[in-house]
Amino acid sequence: MNVRELLDALEKEAELGKFTPYQKISDLQTAILEFLKRKFSQRKSRNTVRTYYSDLISFLEDISINEFIQNENGYILNEEISREIIINHLNRFGNANRWQNTDKEIESKVSEASIEKRYRSLHAFTSWLLENQIVGIDLMWKIKKPQIKNKIPSAWPYEFIVKFFDTFDMSDIKDYRNATICVLIADTGLRIGEVVGLQEGNIDWISKTFLVSGKTGQRVCAFSDICGQELEKWLKVKNKELPKTSFVFPSFRKNLHGFMMNSNSVTHIVREHARKAGIPDSYKLGPHSLRHAVGAHLARSNVNIKMIQKQFGHANISTTQIYEEITLEDVRDTINANSLLKKINDIKGESKINNALNERIARVKKKLDK
């Protein structure tokens, strides 16, 4: 069973309410699977659950190799999983090469963001164990959260976004769908999972809002008049030419989730068209860069930061405040508007005008003297 099939099975069990009672969870593997099912039942996005799966299974694999404590019953939570084991795992992970033990392994350390993400996954899992009395102690007590430097988001400059949208062939229905997906992201800043999961019944045309399910649960997001017009045009085409489905942006082939698109497909679409537009690889070429462009634009336009937080679905205002950081584009525009060379050229231009006027006045005076 591959990862997708496993997550499908867990999601199905969550929908049917097939959960193992907390008092019967004693080993680590069962606990991880139950934790993932509970996240599905809380309507967490598939990408979020997949991230938890990746981090927690990596933790399980690592301690099975390095801690040598597994017995025939698996890792017994209250007896064998300790704070020291988690600390050891985080230390090993922080010193490991990227893509360790895979064909893609490269000799550079995992990023600060990856270490912080692994910490957050373990913290969420161990907190869940403690809250539901599966374990009796806080397994991450006094383990400090890794500090990462605030990075300026990779937001495309306006001229790149213009070139990006010029790469779509609007006469091709697949490209038309893909372009409309990108229009929606560029207007609202929605996450990929929120876009592919969007259904027609979630759109309120009167208030111009969506009901979306994201990382922080359900929330209402606004869209502009221009975006609404583009969506209406697309839905007319979709409902006329594609199989009947409630998804706003359906897959062209049926899958386990009906006609729901895969989030990875959107990433590939955006990356492909970004390269066609000639956007440099120094910018991140995924759909999240479009989301960042929206956040940077709104902050630059002096939109209230709490409004941006609500629209973007950030749990913490500090996540949203990163859009208030000075971007390279801001610096470039400021330098361009206040360039010393521009000032010199302006002065030269004024001097030429003044000289021309003085010469004309002198000629007129000379004629009058005669």
Span 332-350, pLDDT tens digits: 666 677 666 666 567 666 6
Of the options 1.10.443.10, 3.40.50.740, 1.25.40.420, 3.60.15.10, the CATH number for the domain spanning 158-330? 1.10.443.10
Alpha helices in 16-171 (DSSP H): 28-41, 46-66, 77-80, 83-94, 112-131, 158-165
pLDDT (mean) for 7-15: 89
Q: Which of 21, 137, 20, 30 shows the shortest CA–CA distance to 85?
A: 137
pTM given for the model = 0.64
Amino acid at 155: A
Q: Which of 159, 156, 184, 99 shows the shortest CA–CA distance to 271?
A: 156
Give the pLDDT band of residue 331 (cuts 50, 70, 90). low
What DSSP state is assigned to residue 151?
Answer: -
CA-to-CA distance for 55 and 62, rounded, in angstroms?
10
Write out the two tokens for 260.
């729901």
Asked if 112 and 94 touch (Cβ cutoff 8 Å), the reply is no
What's the start-to-end Cα distance of the chain, in Å? Answer: 105
Write out the two tokens for 321.
């405040």
* 90 class by beta-carbon count within 10 Å (0-12 exposed, 13-18 middle, 19+ buried): buried
pLDDT (mean) for 131-158: 82
CA-to-CA distance for 109 and 124, rounded, in angstroms?
24
Ordered DSSP codes for 154-183? ----HHHHHHHHTT--TTSHHHHHHHHHHH
The answer for 99, left when phi > 0, alpha when psi is -120 to 50, beta otherwise, is: left
Asked if 285 and 270 touch (Cβ cutoff 8 Å), the reply is yes
> What proportion of the chain, given as a percentage, has pLDDT over 70?
79
For tokens 């605030």, the residue is 150
> What proportion of the chain, given as a percentage, has pLDDT over 90?
34
- Residue 35: the pLDDT is 95
182 or 70, which is more confident:
182
Span 121-131, pLDDT tens digits: 999 999 999 99
- Residue 215, helix vs strand vs coil: coil
CA-to-CA distance for 248 and 214, rounded, in angstroms?
16
